[in-house]
Amino acid sequence: MDMALGIDVFETLRAPRAQSGKQAPQTALAEFLPKRLAQGLAARLQTEAPLGSLSDKHLHALANAVNAWTVKPVGTEGFRTAEVTLGGLDTKALDGKTMEVKAVPGLHFIGEAVDVTGWLGGYNFQWAWASGVAAGVT
């Protein structure tokens, strides 16, 4: 995920480093990110020293943390706390019998990837299974 869409963070950090080098990375990052997020990224990557003392490798690490942030789930609370989500692909974009995207032949969406919401109690499981069968049978 790009948390600074349209901003080349590496170049944005290189510029103040070349000018004076005294600015802290978290200060530079806070110009386009929330302050606490900027501080957290700098601390996590151990890049809290002034920009002038950081190598390109450190600046690239910061840039990747902002421009190419990845989320890696580490667990689940299990079925006991599972909930329904809202949103997803609009059903108008799908063939209702095959779950195929009308504009992209061969691409199918099923289950909670589709904007269909059901009550708690198994309705969403049923939708996931039924839409999966519809897509799989075609």
Span 92-122, pLDDT tens digits:
999 999 999 999 999 999 998 999 887 777 8
CA 10-7-72 angle, 5° bins: 75
Q: What is the mean pLDDT of residues 66-89?
A: 82
Dihedral angle computed from the Cα positions of residues 111, 114, 117 and 122, in that order, rounded to the nearest 10 degrees = 0
Domains delineated in the chain = 9-67 (1.10.8.260), 79-137 (no CATH)
pLDDT of residue 84: 60
pLDDT confidence band for 37 (50 / 70 / 90)? very high
pLDDT of residue 81: 75
pLDDT at 85 over 80: no
Backbone angles phi, psi at 114, to 5 degrees: -105, 145
- Assigned token pair, 54: 């950081």
The region that residue 11 occupies, defined by phi over 0 for left and psi between -120 and 50 for alpha, beta otherwise, is alpha
What whole-number distance in Å separates Cα of residue 116 and Cα of residue 127?
8
pLDDT confidence band for 88 (50 / 70 / 90)? confident
Look over the chain and give the mean of its residue pLDDT values, rounded to a whole number.
Answer: 89
pLDDT at 87 over 90: no
Contact 127, 88 (CB under 8 A): no
